[in-house]
A and B are shown apart, each in its own frame.
Chain A
Amino acid sequence: DTEVTQTPKHLVMGMTNKKSLKCEQHMGHRAMYWYKQKAKKPPELMFVYSYEKLSINESVPSRFSPECPNSSLLNLHLHALQPEDSALYLCASSQGDYTDTQYFGPGTRLTVL
């Protein structure tokens, strides 16, 4: 099973809402990632969790809050977002670290009104 699942597929939220994105993998991977992708642009790394510990935060605003409850799950909590945060949010996982193949989930398309 080389699948990374993400829910929801689509999310529309207001600037005062609180919502969460979820990501799950059952490949035994120990590194998990959040990326943000704007239209016609490459994915931009936001966070990396390695062995359930946050190892990289790419200076992401605090309105994005990641959480790794266990080795299979990764959440991204959203609060007080801005319209410019509208994008495709991709979760990925890899065996050990970022030198390994990254398997991407289908993404959550987020629209902030």
Chain B
Amino acid sequence: GQQVMQIPQYQHVQEGEDFTTYCNSSTTLSNIQWYKQRPGGHPVFLIQLVKSGEVKKQKRLTFQFGEAKKNSSLHITATQTTDVGTYFCAGIPYGGATNKLIFGTGTLLAVQP
């Protein structure tokens, strides 16, 4: 079936270090969305990318959508303790039997002060 994998599963960084999570889909995606879920919380939408090769920035966060629209990345510059949480990518496969949002496996980020 359609799968969206993220690596790493878990990342522990010192505050101020950079962090990147990678999202890889087994099929071409029409778009990619990123969500953040704090411990004990619910997913909160961060951003959506639609175009091949698209790059978007939100303050210290940089999001990329691959040229083949099968992968994406989220890079955080100079992490802060407020960045702690699980980051999920989620995409909609092109022309699949079901047109639904498929969540990636998630990357849990821990930031040590």
Contacts of B103 in A (CB 8 A): 42-44
Residues of chain A from 35 to 49 with CB closer than 8 A to chain B in the complex: 40-45, 48
The answer to whether B42 touches A101 (Cβ under 8 A) is no
Roughly how many angstroms separate A103 CA and B106 CA in the complex, as a whole number?
Answer: 18
Q: Shortest distance in angstroms between A44's beta carbon and chain B's nearest beta carbon?
A: 8
Whether A107 sits at the interface, judged by CB under 8 Å, is yes
Interface 1/0s, chain A 88-107, versus B by CB < 8 A? 10100000011101111111
Residues of chain B from 1 to 52 with CB closer than 8 A to chain A in the complex: 30-31, 33, 35, 41-45, 48
Q: How many residues of B contact A (CB 8 A)?
A: 22
| Given contacts A90-B42, A105-B42, A45 and B104 within 8 Å (CB-CB) | no
Whether B79 sits at the interface, judged by CB under 8 Å, is no
Q: Which of B33, B44, B45, B48 has the most CB of A within 10 A?
A: B45
The answer to whether A99 touches B45 (Cβ under 8 A) is no
The answer to whether A102 touches B42 (Cβ under 8 A) is no
Whether B65 sits at the interface, judged by CB under 8 Å, is no
The answer to whether A98 touches B92 (Cβ under 8 A) is yes
Roughly how many angstroms separate A101 CA and B45 CA in the complex, as a whole number?
Answer: 7
| Given contacts A42-B88, A42-B106, A107-B42, A102 and B48 within 8 Å (CB-CB) | no
Contact of A90 (CB < 8 Å), options: B30, B43, B98, B104: B43
**Which secondary structure characterizes the binding site on chain A?**
loop
Contacts of B44 in A (CB 8 A): 104
The answer to whether B104 touches A42 (Cβ under 8 A) is yes
Given A45-B101, A98-B101, 17 extra CB contacts under 8 A:
A40-B108, A41-B106, A42-B105, A43-B88, A88-B42, A90-B43, A99-B30, A99-B31, A101-B45, A102-B33, A102-B43, A102-B101, A103-B45, A104-B35, A104-B43, A104-B44, A104-B45
Interface, chain B (partner A; CB < 8 A):
30-31, 33, 35, 41-45, 48, 88, 90, 92, 98-101, 103-106, 108
8 contacting pairs across A/B (C-beta < 8 A):
A42-B90, A44-B103, A56-B98, A88-B42, A98-B92, A102-B101, A104-B44, A106-B42
Interface, chain A (partner B; CB < 8 A):
40-45, 48, 56, 58, 88, 90, 97-99, 101-107
